[in-house]
Chain A
Amino acid sequence: MKQRLLVLSLLLIAGSAGASSTEKPEAMPEWESDKLELALAHANTGNPVEGKRLHHYLYCSACHGDNGESPSRNWPSLTGQKPDYVMKTLLDYKQSMRRDHYRKAFVMTRMAGLLNESQMADLAAYYAQQPAPAIPPSTNVKLAKQGAKLANRGDDKRGITACSACHGEHGESGVTPDTPALAGQTPEYFIQAMTMYKQGMRTSDVGGVMRMYSKSLTEAEIKALAHYYASLGSKAGAPKP
């Protein structure tokens, strides 16, 4: 029955006219924190078994890996991510709030459009159940050491709070839904995300917090932080299929 509904929702989407290919820079909508709280009320009630099925059935695995640990530097790992952040991200996409790779996020915007909120929660539950990603092969130990200090102490002079204050001592994520786990994410993806915040191209951070901090960081600092958080990946990562 569920599959039938999905096909039906596809038919409804297919009936509406597609967007023009000519991409114009447009202002992205932003979250208000009370609305976000309401939207994520059921984020932690998902069914991980159904989430695992959806992960394959909807081809999420094609880019994010068999278990949600990405085999590519282009796309993030989802394993070990906390449910409300995954759900928030899927809602970001569904509401056309996200760009990826410095352009409109066509793939994820359309994919999230296929999902209802219960399915988002199911996927989120599945990813949360998986162990955090392994240390990516491109991680540079020397750069990671440079990043550690800034990540854990911040920089008073420039008003930069320690990253760990929100993202956790080991990059395992913090309390609020908009602070993802960062441990084991590829440096390339981390740099892309931070650069897009810095350039104001990514506006999904509640209250513009990441846009503010990233503005104060140099490219070299972003790079060092990227390698530091990559180096916090788990020893093993997701079980291989």
Chain B
Amino acid sequence: MNRRELLKALGAGGALALLNAPAMAAAKNKTAHIVIVGGGIGGATAAKYLRLAAPGVKITLVEPVKRFITCLRSNDVAVGHMTLDDITFTYDALRARYKINVVHDRVIGFDPDKKTVQLDAGGKLAYDKLVVSPGIDFIYGDVEGYTREAAETTLPHAWKAGPQTLLLKKQLEAMPQGGTFLMVAPPNPFRCPPGPYERASLIAEWFQKHNPRAKVIILDHKDAFTKDVPFKKAWERLYGFNTPNSMIEWIPAAKGGTPKRVDAANRTVIAAAGTFKADVVNYISPQRAGTVAFRMGLTNREGWCPVNRRTFESEIVRDVHVIGDACVGDSMPKSGYSANSQAKVAVQAIADMLAGKTPGEPSMINVCYSLAGQDYGVSIADIFKVVDNRIVKLPASGVSPITDSPAQPLLEAVYQRNWHRTFANDCFA
């Protein structure tokens, strides 16, 4: 019995007295079909945890690729400490262990009134609840001279793991001795806030071994970044930061770091701070919600998806929940961990709604380890709650302290590896 049939039965009158609330909930649960669009960290976690929260429902995950490459640890791939295979995951466990119907296809149409999504290969999926985890896409042309073509050929962003990561790796390896690596760090908000600074660190470390006179220059749209205190301390300890021989130079917006123009053919970026010609330019593009969210009409004027912060239900379309990097998360960073945390909250809310219960008060976390060197970790741990439909960070949150104990950053680097293994399993296994 689907919802409409149930309503018909109710309308017919006689059955009304026999149908108490739990029975209705059970009837709904049995037939509920939840479709999840996007099988990244958020979508995969949502599929698995929805099965745990609502064992009886039918779950379909729509994701174009058969083997998903996570952005997590892709900086390690760029400098050869890991391979793409190490960060590639399949949907086998979701199928076998959690009975998720995984469809490798693309959503090309959406009817919010009839509650269907149209697949590229043909056919429609009718849903009771839809979860959309679209990730990010890039804004090209924010400055003159920066185009999609430039990004795909000469100025890789390497901000989605895969061919772009390998392109960056190849360019690094081909750099002349004593050359310059220039990174443009994106404006807020963007996926993986510590990612650019971890990448700059790991490339400086790689240069120490393979290209000791080479330099890393970061042109930044911003004046501060996440974990900047422990990162800068690590740069001092490892790469001579704040000395004349520093391997890393960071030029914040206040010192003219914001890019104004790009000359892709000459690998040159023009900013108020000067004209920077480099051997490798890693232009990390400004970002917006993934394209599928735009096609489905889930985005606001800023290009992100506004949601009810307790349930992650879209504020634009009913019965559609948007999670992960694409949603408006307030003080919650656009990280894989946030997506994982939001997925759990969203599917519990869905399970509650299907059971006729009011969703509870969410508590969310974000934990993130970055490497400032292969043996030097920095971390952040945040706890969030919702106040007046805004996600706020609780005072218990914090970043790695600066200590003089060599064990502290070393342990964080070890924890990072263990965290990555455990976290990937939480999403995909």
Chain A residues engaging chain B, CB cutoff 8 angstroms: 3, 6-7, 9-11, 13-15, 17-18, 20-22, 57-59, 62, 106-107, 110-111, 114
A20-B81 contact given A11-B237, A107-B414, CB 8 Å threshold: yes
Q: Is B375 located at the chain interface by the 8 A CB criterion? A: yes
Contact B374 A110 (CB under 8 A): no
In the assembled complex, the Cα of A15 lies from the Cα of B204 at a distance in Å of: 11
Q: How far is A21 from B72 in the complex, measured between Cα atoms in Å?
A: 13
For A7, give its contact among B86, B209, B373, B406 (CB under 8 Å): B406
User: In the bound complex, do residue A7 and residue B237 qualify as a contact, i.e. CB atoms below 8 Å apart?
Assistant: yes
Task: Check if B86 sits within 8 Å of A14, measured CB to CB.
Answer: no
User: What are the residues of chain A within 8 A of B373 when measuring CB–CB?
Assistant: 14
Asked if B418 and A106 make an inter-chain contact with CB atoms under 8 angstroms apart, the answer reads: yes
Contact A59 B86, beta carbon cutoff 8 Å: no
Contact across chains for B375 and A106 when beta carbons are under 8 A apart? no
19 A-B Cβ contacts within 8 A?
A: A6-B406, A7-B404, A7-B406, A9-B406, A10-B376, A10-B409, A13-B375, A13-B410, A14-B374, A18-B81, A18-B375, A20-B82, A21-B82, A22-B83, A58-B405, A58-B406, A59-B408, A59-B411, A110-B411
Tell me what chain B mostly uses at the interface: helix, strand, loop, or mixed.
helix
How many positions in chain B have a CB within 8 Å of any CB in the partner chain? 27
- Asked whether B224 is an interface residue with its Cβ less than 8 Å from the other chain, the reply is no
Query: A114 contacts B410, CB within 8 Å?
Result: yes
Give the A-B contact count at a CB cut-off of 8 A. Answer: 69
Q: Are B374 and A17 in contact (CB under 8 A)?
A: yes
A21, B404: Cα distance in complex, Å:
27
- Given contacts A14-B373, A57-B405, is CB(A110)–CB(B237) below 8 Å? no
**Cα distance A9–B407 when bound, in Å?**
11
Which residues on B sit within 8 Å (CB–CB) of A20? 81-82
A residues less than 8 Å from B83 (CB atoms): 22
A18: min CB distance to chain B, Å: 3
- For A6, give the chain B residue with the smallest CB separation: B406
> How far apart sit A13 and B373, CA to CA, in the bound complex (Å)?
10
- Residues of chain A within 8 A (CB-CB) of B410 are 10, 13, 110-111, 114
User: Most A CB atoms within 10 A — which of B82, B404, B405, B406?
Assistant: B406
Interface string of B375-416 (1 = CB under 8 A from A): 110000000000000000000000000001111111101100
CA distance A185 to B186 in the complex (A): 52
- Binary interface profile of B, 89-119, with partner A (CB < 8 Å = 1, else 0)? 0000000000000000000000000000000
Contact flag A21-B417 (CB < 8 Å), given A7-B237, A14-B374, A58-B407: yes
Closest A residue to B202 using CB positions: A18
Q: Closest chain B residue to A113 by CB distance?
A: B410
Residue in chain A with minimal CB distance to B238: A14
Bound CA–CA A13/B417 (angstroms): 17
A110 near B375 with CB under 8 A, answer: yes
Q: Is A15 in contact with B414, judged by CB distance below 8 angstroms?
A: no
Q: Hey, which chain B residues are within 8 Å of A10, CB to CB?
A: 237, 375-376, 406, 409-410
Asked if residues B411 and A18 are in contact (CB atoms below 8 Å), the reply is no
Q: Which residues of A contact B237 (CB under 8 A)?
A: 7, 10-11
Enumerate chain B residues within 8 angstroms of A7, measured Cβ to Cβ: 237, 404, 406
Known: A9-B406, A21-B86, A59-B408. A14 touches B418 (CB 8 A): no
CB neighbours of B211 from chain A (8 A): none
List residues of chain B with CB within 8 A of the CB of A9: 406
- Is B208's CB within 8 Å of the partner chain A? yes
The CA-CA distance from A173 to B73 in the complex, in Å, is 44
The answer to whether residues A114 and B407 also contact, given A11-B237, A21-B417 and a CB cut-off of 8 A, is yes
> In the complex, what's the smallest C-beta–C-beta distance from B79 to chain A, in angstroms?
9
The winner among A9, A14, A15 for most chain B CB atoms within 10 A is: A14
- In the complex, are the beta carbons of A17 and B407 less than 8 A apart? no
B415 — nearest CB in chain A belongs to which residue?
Answer: A107
Q: Check A111 against B404 for contact (C-beta < 8 Å).
A: no
Report yes or no: B209 in contact with A17, Cβ–Cβ below 8 A. Answer: yes
- A14 / chain B contacts, CB cutoff of 8 Å: 205, 238, 373-376
Q: Which of A10, A62, A107 has the most CB of B within 10 A?
A: A10
Chain A residues contacting B374 (CB-CB under 8 Å) are 14, 17-18
With a cutoff of 8 Å between Cβ atoms, the chain B residues found around residue A3 in the complex are: 404
Known A-B contacts A14-B373, A21-B417, A59-B405; the reply to A111 vs B411 at CB < 8 A is yes
Smallest CB gap from A106: residue in B: B414
0 or 1 for each of B67-92: is its CB under 8 Å from A? (1 = yes): 00000010010000111001000000
- Of chain B, the residue at the smallest CB distance from A59 is B407
When distances are taken between beta carbons in the complex, the residues of chain B under 8 Å from A110 are 375, 410-411, 413-414
Chain A residue at minimal CB-CB distance from B410: A110
Q: A110 vs B409: C-alpha distance in the bound complex, in angstroms?
A: 11
Asked whether B411 lies within 8 Å of A114 as measured between CB atoms, the reply is: no
Closest CB in chain B relative to A193 CB, distance in Å: 20
Extra contacts, 8 of them, besides A18-B375, A59-B405, A59-B408 (Cβ < 8 A), are A3-B404, A6-B406, A7-B237, A10-B237, A15-B208, A59-B411, A62-B411, A110-B414
Q: How near does chain A come to B135, taking the closest CB pair, in angstroms?
A: 24
CB distance from B8 to the nearest CB of A (A): 57
Q: Closest A-chain residue to B418, C-beta based?
A: A106
**Which residues of B sit under 8 angstroms from A111, Cβ to Cβ?**
407, 410-411
B80 CB to closest chain A CB (Å) equals 9
- In whole angstroms, how far apart are the Cα atoms of A21 and B405 in the complex? 25
Contact partners of A106 in chain B: CB under 8 A: 414, 417-418
Known: A14-B238, A21-B417, A106-B418. A57 touches B407 (CB 8 A): yes
A90 to chain B, nearest CB (A): 13
Q: With the chains together, A115 CA to B413 CA distance in Å?
A: 17
Cross-chain contact of B406 among A15, A17, A18, A114 (Cβ < 8 A)? A114
Q: Which residues of B contact A58 (CB under 8 A)?
A: 405-407
What chain A residues lie within 8 Å of B375 (beta carbons)?
10, 13-14, 18, 110
| Given A7-B406, A57-B405, A114-B406, A17 and B81 contact (CB-CB distance below 8 Å) | yes
